[in-house]
Amino acid sequence: MDEKSLTGYELSKDFFNFMYENPNIANPTSTALYFFIIEHSNRMGWKQVFRLPTSMAMDAIGIKNYKTYIKALNILIDTGFIRMVEKSKNQYSANIIALVKNTKALTKALTKASTKHMAKQVQSTVSIDKLLNLLNSKPINEVIEKLELLFNSETEQLEEIKEYSQDVFLLAEFCEKYLEKKYINSSFDTLDKLMRIDGYSVEQIKRAITFAVNDNFWQQNFLSPNKLRSKNKDGVKYIDVFLKRAENNKPTEPKITPMYR
């Protein structure tokens, strides 16, 4: 395959097109393995042929049983998404494989489904880029659970969303313990800018949020992480206000019962 045509987006799109047409083959474990292989190839500069150490792959996606791993790998081989160049001698050695652009993957299935559901704006659908982030930031059982929700969902639209760092998703998950989800969903840009532009760490943002939801006044008035980047009448960002007051008051983790889960 021409190296220039090898992109994570194209490989991912072809994969889900094929699995949509073949739901009997769709397997969350094979899906997790395939996305790990894509990431592994990407980190090596999209080499056409490369080694896939068995133990590394099993550890990366949380598989303990060698037979389970081989079954998942064989699904990818049988469906034409990877090619086995040289088979490993045992579970402690590496297979040599190649990523293959699967020409059997049909585009009409998801195109038709996306058109049918264009009017639906479902925020729970997961983009390919988000799946890649999840593979790097979540335990594999959570990844597989989310993949199963994707395959079993009545929603057939793969909604394209902006790619954020895994820290943004971790902070959003942290906020879900205390804040209403609709406000969290609209604050991804703010969380991203707080780290990428303003230079705050994940721990500083968590500490500011912890103070706000624990403070007698702010626990009733702090509705959204967007507040952190806005400024008070003195022109000081509220995240700095909260961090300074948190340092003075030394608050502990909120003892209040979260209103939203």
* pLDDT at residue 44 greater than cutoff 90: no
In this structure, the answer to whether residues 21 and 142 fall within a common structural domain is yes
User: d(Cα 207, Cα 53) in Å, to the nearest integer?
Assistant: 40
Q: Which domain holds residue 211?
A: 166-249
Query: What is the spatial distance between Cα 194 and Cα 168, in angstroms, rounded to a whole number?
Result: 10
In terms of domains, do 35 and 141 share one? yes
- The reply to whether 170 and 114 lie within a common domain is no
Average pLDDT over every residue of 194-212: 91
In a domain, residue 142? The reply is yes
Residue 73 lies in a domain: yes
Q: Token digits for 261?
A: 């889960």
Summary mean pLDDT of the chain: 75
Among 42-46, 180-184, 194-198, the range of highest mean pLDDT? 194-198
Q: Which residue has the higher pLDDT, 124 or 222?
A: 222
Q: What is the pLDDT of residues 144-167, one digit of tens each?
A: 565 555 555 444 433 433 457 778
Q: What pLDDT score does 147 carry?
A: 57
**Domain shared by 18 and 147, yes or no:** yes
Paired residues of 49 in beta bridges: 98
pLDDT on residue 92: 65
Task: Give DSSP secondary structure letters for 108-176.
Answer: HHHHHHHHHTTT---TT---HHHHHHHHHHS-HHHHHHHHHHHHH-S-----------HHHHHHHHHHT
Q: Is the pLDDT of residue 4 over 60?
A: no
Q: What is the mean pLDDT of residues 130-145?
A: 55
- My answer on whether 112 and 77 are in the same domain is yes
pLDDT tens readout for residues 107-119 = 444 444 444 444 3
Question: Same domain, yes or no, for 187 and 138?
Answer: no
Q: Is residue 259 part of a domain?
A: no
In terms of residues, how long is the chain? 261
Q: At which of 123, 152, 181 does a domain end?
A: 152
Q: Is residue 182 included in any domain, yes or no? A: yes
Asked whether the beta carbons of 258 and 177 are under 8 A apart, the reply is yes
Residue 140 pLDDT > 50: yes
**Pick from 161, 163, 175, 171: nearest CA to 224:** 175
Per-residue pLDDT, 113:
45
